[in-house]
Amino acid sequence: MKNNLRERREQAGESQGDLAVAVDVSRQSINAIERGRYDPSLELAFKLARHYDCAIEAIFDPELAD
């Protein structure tokens, strides 16, 4: 699934570690999501959206990746 998590995180001035602590996952999980190698659980997607005060669809593209 495509996402703009890295861009949002960098705009917020956060490291992967900072974001990981904020949403209670490992830094490696954040890295894998940003690289498109891991699709987060629905619970984690909600945590990320809540952290950035936006809808899930603002971070994750609901269309299937090609």
Domain boundaries, the chain: 5-53
Q: Does domain 5-53 bear CATH number 1.10.10.410? A: no
Classify each residue of 16-49 as buried b or exposed e, where b means 16 or more C-beta atoms within 10 Å of its C-beta: beebbebbebeeebbeebbeeeeebeeebbebbb
pLDDT given at position 64: 56
- The per-residue pLDDT for 65 is 53
Total-model pTM: 0.91
Structure confidence at residue 27 (pLDDT): 98
Tell me if 52 sits within 8 A of 8, measured CB to CB: yes
Q: Provide the residue-wise pLDDT of the chain in tens; the chain has 66 residues.
A: 899 999 999 999 999 999 999 999 999 999 999 999 999 999 999 999 999 999 999 999 877 554
